[in-house]
Amino acid sequence: MVVASGSTVYLNCTVEDNDNSSLQWSNPTQQTLYFGAKRALRDHRIQLVQATSKELTISISNVSLADEGEYICSLFTMPVQTGKSVVTVLGVPKRPVITGYIGPVHENTVIRLKCESSGSKPAARLHWMKNKIPLHAQHFPTMEDPRDHTFTVSSLVEFNATKSDDEASVICAAEHPSITSEASISEQKIEVLYPPQAVIRASAEFPKEGMKLHLNCIGQGKPEPQLTKWMKKNGELPQHTTQEGNILTFTALNKSDAGVYICEVTNIMGSVEAPFSLTVYEKDPSALPHSGIDHAVIGGVVAVIVFILLCLLIVLGRYLIRHKGTYLTHEAKGSDDAPDADTAIINAEGGQASSDDKKEYFI
């Protein structure tokens, strides 16, 4: 049977027919563990589970690699009968240890990490992942400990650090038959320092004269960048502006405020300037440009109206054509039985009613 070191192994010996002869368990060094229900070896890890004339079952807790070997159950008859149970103990690998990371690194720096795990038997396998994506690793030769014949395994992984690797999780995991949990996983968090980036956001899409406006300078970087200054290209900041944190506020816009405004942010990796072109519109709403979304909505409405009108024209045309055919059909009535053309016309125009109008009455 195969068990992991530190677990419990059960040794069971049963016989079908027994003339009350004693059963005995002995270890690989031929030391008697139990003779019937009597303990023979002072090892408190070994306990009696069941002892009858037909069964002897014992347990060994917290097994170690030294407990591996062939155990013999003997039935003392004439001659002595024996049975064997081979116990294989797996050396559970120790939690991997990741070395090589000494702290935050600059962007585009090559990171080299080494992972090592000892105590496995047979030798464990190591694999790497970064943010759950496998990494290609270089594996070193396996080393065997001559004292207990366990193995030490190690591997190396390298990758070029980018700003997307900041706060990345690099994992080294040991794979082994004895492992049933995540106890064999080690994790290393990575910090990457990179220069700042910045962008300016305005509190209004179409700022107008007289309104209050905020320009927010948003910087990103590692470490977090700080605002250095606000400035206006080819000019001075208006006197009616105030600065609080990363925000430049115009208390009341006027046409002279139009222009390009620049904020500068910096960290230990460098500095960057972000421009923003400010246009101040008149108070008249009609002077504001219409967005592409408005044109799209208007175009859609016009298309629906044109479609409805075309449908109405088609229905009206079919209605007129149908009634014109009915008129022509009535116009032809009475011509079939008329003796001449004049009578046919009179019959078509008035039908029976015309003939009634031409009746003569005598008094």
**Contact call for residues 35 and 73 (beta carbons, < 8 A):** no
Number of domains in the chain: 4
Indicate which CATH number applies to the domain containing 162.
2.60.40.10
Residues 180 and 202 in one domain: no
In a domain, 292, yes or no: no
For the residues 147-156, what does the mean pLDDT come to? 94
What's the mean per-residue pLDDT of the chain?
A: 86
Give residue-wise pLDDT tens across range 277-313.
999 999 865 555 554 455 666 777 888 898 888 888 8
Q: What angle do CA 95, 100, 101 make, to 5 degrees?
A: 95
7 and 70 both lie in a single domain: yes
pLDDT at 53: 85
Between CA 301 and CA 295 the distance in angstroms is 10
The answer to whether residue 233 sits within a structural domain is: yes
176 and 229 fall within a common domain: no
User: Residue 277 CA to chain centroid, in angstroms?
Assistant: 37
Q: DSSP readout, 280-347?
A: -B-S-GGGSPPPHHHHHHHHHHHHHHHHHHHHHHHHHHHHHHHHHHHHHHHHTTT-SS-SSHHHHHHH
| Predicted pLDDT at 347 | 54
Asked whether residue 212 falls in the same domain as residue 166, the answer is no
**Residue 338, pLDDT score:** 52
Q: Is residue 128 situated within a structural domain?
A: yes
- Write the secondary structure of 67-109 as one string of H (helix), E (strand) and C (coil): HCEEEEEEECCCCCEEEEEEEEEEECCCCCEEECCCCCEECCC
| Domain boundaries, position 209 | 195-287
Q: Return all residues near 187 (Cβ < 8 A) that are at least 6 apart.
A: 98, 169, 170, 171
Is there a single domain that holds both residue 179 and residue 246?
no
**Tens-place pLDDT, residues 110-129:** 999 999 999 999 999 999 99
In a domain, 322, yes or no: yes
The answer to whether residues 103 and 76 belong to one domain is no
Of the candidates 37, 71, 90, which is a domain's last residue? 90
Tens of pLDDT, residue by residue over 55-88, are: 999 999 999 999 999 999 999 888 888 999 999 9
Q: Has residue 272 been placed in a domain?
A: yes
**Are residue 211 and residue 280 in the same domain, yes or no?**
yes
Residue with the bigger pLDDT between 105 and 184: it is 105
Q: Write down which residue in 35, 66, 90 finishes a domain.
A: 90
Q: What is the pLDDT of residues 159-190, one digit of tens each?
A: 999 999 999 999 999 999 998 766 689 999 99
Token pair 């609080």 is found at: 244
Q: Looking at the domain assignment, is residue 293 inside a domain?
A: no
